[in-house]
Chain A
């Protein structure tokens, strides 16, 4: 590969972006951690060279903004070097969050599809249901989550289910909107064809509307699964939950463990990227089976 090929390749583009982000991050870390470091040095009466000072700002125990390598080390220590069953393993916490994400996502997707099917078949539902569905999404999830968790706890439901419900709450919406659009996407001639066969609305649904909506469904599911993850993390916050990425975030902020907060954040971002990618693969596979990918 020549240099110019490399510069134009996708890998090069991604690497460049990562590199730029890292530089900004390091610069930010130095800038944000400087005041504390200066105070500290004045208090300890330490004199440092500039290089030494910069190194110190990047290796504080509780920095305002941890440096990338600190987060990397923390993630390494809490994943590879810990047993998966350990309470201090990030994999363990990610697993907890993942399970409620998946449960919430599945319920949300099914609910979204059912609502969409109902909406396109019963015209009055569109007018009566859609405003509520939209309103539901304008209420901040942070306001709702504690209520749901606390109320469910009061009636004895705790653990996975309440968190999954928050995920469902966030994920059903994009699925409903996308699938309604998909179910309405067949063109008039395709629908006329069904009419000439005197097909029942059930047959029209399964043989025309549903297959037409598949691409829309997958696009919505990519949004929904990321939203589910957010829901699961938010759901872990209010009860001062003991496990999950949300709990790690919360515990980190109680004790000023910024490195822990950032490593949990990055793990969540990584998890989201993985989930969206997996949905993307499923999308491709299904479309190939349906003859829709050249």
Chain B
């Protein structure tokens, strides 16, 4: 048996054992309409989505197609107008109350009166972890995002990209099984972004977390994901779902392989078609 086959078999066994039974996200015919002063905005329109445990799902699509909105519905920060959604088999509200997920916002949203370490400590204090555990987690996660040594700085003393990394460390410190990330690497330079892509891939592979990830970058989506959800705007809906069955553990070189480029090409076509749809 080759390595690839072994992994595939292992994965198959895993999903047969408990994985397939374990739906992290199950959304059916989800609609969300914002009532605004100049008429209703259909942010989500009959969205179907399933995410199993251990998957890495990326949402990609033009600005305003409802990626953030969908993520917020999963996080119970927004109520759907109609349709059903479950998170870990519970309602989003129950899941939120059970602290089922960690959320990285599109902007860093650090508290300006807390130092970087203090910001990472915030969720840990709320969870009631003791000081030693908090400090261990702060150290580990700040190292992971290359912010070791900045513990005592205040947010305004850091660049936008560093602030964003601090907010990623804050979400990771919670050590949730489900990570919801809204364009976490949008504000970063290419090199740091590559590095964090690798880190995130390794973390996901090692811990078997489920990640839902919003991005505008096709290579990033293909590099990280097991499944890419291509969305299109007005009304926001799922245009296509592209399976991305590269090996779980990936290095940046994979981006040069034909398989990678093939998937990237399909994603690009999907995005184009979504746009064309819009123009009609």
A residues at B contact (CB < 8 Å): 189-190, 192-199, 203, 207-208, 211, 214, 290-292, 294
What B residues does A290 contact at CB under 8 A? Answer: 112-113
Kindly state whether residue B126 has any CB partner on chain A within 8 Å: yes
What B residues does A198 contact at CB under 8 A? Answer: 96-99
Complex contact B109–A190 (CB within 8 A) = yes
For B56-83 the 0/1 string (1 means CB < 8 A from A) is 0000000000000000000111000000
Complex contact B111–A195 (CB within 8 A) = no
16 additional contacts (CB under 8 A) given A193-B105, A195-B96: A189-B105, A190-B111, A194-B126, A196-B101, A196-B102, A197-B122, A198-B96, A198-B97, A198-B99, A207-B111, A211-B113, A214-B113, A290-B113, A291-B113, A291-B115, A291-B156
Kindly state whether residue B129 has any CB partner on chain A within 8 Å: no
Say whether chain A's binding surface is mostly helix, strand, loop, or mixed. Answer: helix
9 contacts between A and B (CB under 8 A): A189-B107, A192-B105, A195-B76, A196-B101, A196-B102, A207-B125, A291-B154, A291-B156, A292-B113
User: How far apart sit A214 and B156, CA to CA, in the bound complex (Å)?
Assistant: 18
Q: How large is the interface on B (under 10, 10 to 19, 20 to 34, 35 or more residues)?
A: 20 to 34
Q: B14 to nearest A CB, angstroms?
A: 28
Kindly state whether residue B185 has any CB partner on chain A within 8 Å: no
What B residues does A193 contact at CB under 8 A? Answer: 103, 105, 109
- The 5 A-B pairs with the shortest beta carbon distances in the complex, nearest first, are A291-B154, A290-B113, A196-B103, A189-B109, A197-B126
User: How far apart sit A192 and B105, CA to CA, in the bound complex (Å)?
Assistant: 9
Complex contact A207–B122 (CB within 8 A) = yes
Kindly state whether residue B161 has any CB partner on chain A within 8 Å: no
User: How far apart sit A38 and B8, CA to CA, in the bound complex (Å)?
Assistant: 113
Q: A150 to nearest B CB, angstroms?
A: 46
Kindly state whether residue B136 has any CB partner on chain A within 8 Å: no
Kindly state whether residue B123 has any CB partner on chain A within 8 Å: yes
Complex contact A197–B99 (CB within 8 A) = yes
Residue of B nearest to A215 (CB): B113
Complex contact B112–A291 (CB within 8 A) = yes
Residue of A nearest to B176 (CB): A196
Complex contact B109–A196 (CB within 8 A) = no
User: How far apart sit A294 and B101, CA to CA, in the bound complex (Å)?
Assistant: 35
User: How far apart sit A38 and B142, CA to CA, in the bound complex (Å)?
Assistant: 84
Complex contact B111–A211 (CB within 8 A) = yes
Residue of A nearest to B100 (CB): A198
Kindly state whether residue B127 has any CB partner on chain A within 8 Å: yes
What B residues does A203 contact at CB under 8 A? Answer: 126
What A residues does B109 contact at CB under 8 A? Answer: 189-190, 192-193
Cross-interface CB contact of A195 among B77, B107, B112, cutoff 8 Å: B77
For B199-223 the 0/1 string (1 means CB < 8 A from A) is 0000000000000000000000000
What A residues does B113 contact at CB under 8 A? Answer: 211, 214, 290-292
Q: B155 to nearest A CB, angstroms?
A: 8
